């Protein structure tokens, strides 16, 4: 591909590695493309929907004039697979923070798990995690959380189209979810723990699809660089 094609606009499907931030992935591609093609300083590049550092999978990166498509891509249905671990909660609802409370799990059966999923289908009210990038009073929620400040978080409407349990090996429950823009799978895991009369956190997450775009067609930043050589 030529420099002109990247300036004109491309959609690049990246399989984001674990522990990378979405910002790091965009910066890496920007560096690779600028070095390869001597692109102008104001070369436009951005991602269509953040993935947490502890999540892997599909990160859509748009270049040039295609950065105008970001809002449209972000609005599409997303699919995730992952693991919810029951019996313990964390402040961030995932493994970014340490366990802060433990709960009984002996009462949890397959029937209870499958019944609980029904509560989350369709339009639901969901509170974003306190460790999230949403802004409140000019600061991101995670900045308030790390400063030990109490913040009132309002619930938001979100839609879960499919919530399938793919494997039960307690304390781990594997799942596949299709959901609307703005859904926090970490919050889903936390709320699912409550629905099971226990506690839970998200221990693994992978984004597999955004609209018709699939991670099956994605490459790691490392492989993207190799393809350009």
Give residue-wise pLDDT tens across range 115-134. 999 999 999 999 988 766 55
The predicted-structure confidence for 77-119, as pLDDT tens digits, reads as follows 999 999 999 999 999 999 999 999 999 999 999 999 999 999 9
Q: Which of 201, 214, 223, 13 has its CA nearest to residue 99? A: 201
The predicted-structure confidence for 57-81, as pLDDT tens digits, reads as follows 999 999 999 999 999 999 999 999 9
pLDDT at 146 over 70: no
Residue from 52, 94, 191, 204 carrying the catalytic annotation: 52
To the query of whether residue 52 is one of the catalytic residues in this protein, the response is: yes
Q: Where do we find the tokens 């366990």?
A: 99
Orientation of helix 110-117 relative to helix 185-195, angle to 10°? 130
pLDDT of residue 148: 64
Q: How far apart are CA 227 and CA 195, in angstroms?
A: 46
């Amino acid at each position: 591909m030529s420099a002109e094609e990247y300036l004109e606009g491309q959609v690049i499907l990246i399989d984001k590695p674990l522990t990378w931030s979405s910002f790091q992935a965009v910066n890496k591609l920007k560096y690779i493309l600028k070095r390869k093609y001597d692109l102008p300083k104001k070369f436009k590049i951005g991602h269509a929907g953040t993935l947490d550092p502890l999540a892997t999978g599909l990160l859509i990166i748009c270049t040039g004039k295609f950065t105008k498509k970001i809002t449209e891509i972000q609005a599409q249905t997303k699919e995730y697979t992952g693991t919810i671990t029951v019996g313990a909660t964390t402040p961030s609802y995932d493994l970014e923070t340490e366990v802060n409370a433990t709960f009984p799990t002996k009462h949890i059966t397959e029937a209870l798990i499958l019944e609980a999923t029904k509560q989350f289908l369709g339009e639901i009210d969901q509170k974003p995690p306190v460790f999230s990038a949403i802004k409140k009073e000019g600061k991101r929620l995670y900045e308030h959380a790390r400063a030990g400040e109490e913040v009132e978080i309002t619930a938001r409407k979100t839609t879960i189209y499919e919530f399938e349990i793919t494997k039960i090996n307690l304390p781990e429950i594997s799942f596949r979810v299709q959901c609307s823009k703005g859904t926090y799978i970490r919050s889903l895991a936390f709320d699912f723990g409550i629905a099971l009369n226990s506690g839970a956190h998200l221990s693994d997450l992978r984004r597999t699809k955004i609209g018709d775009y699939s991670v099956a067609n994605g490459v790691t930043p490392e492989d993207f660089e190799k393809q350009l050589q």
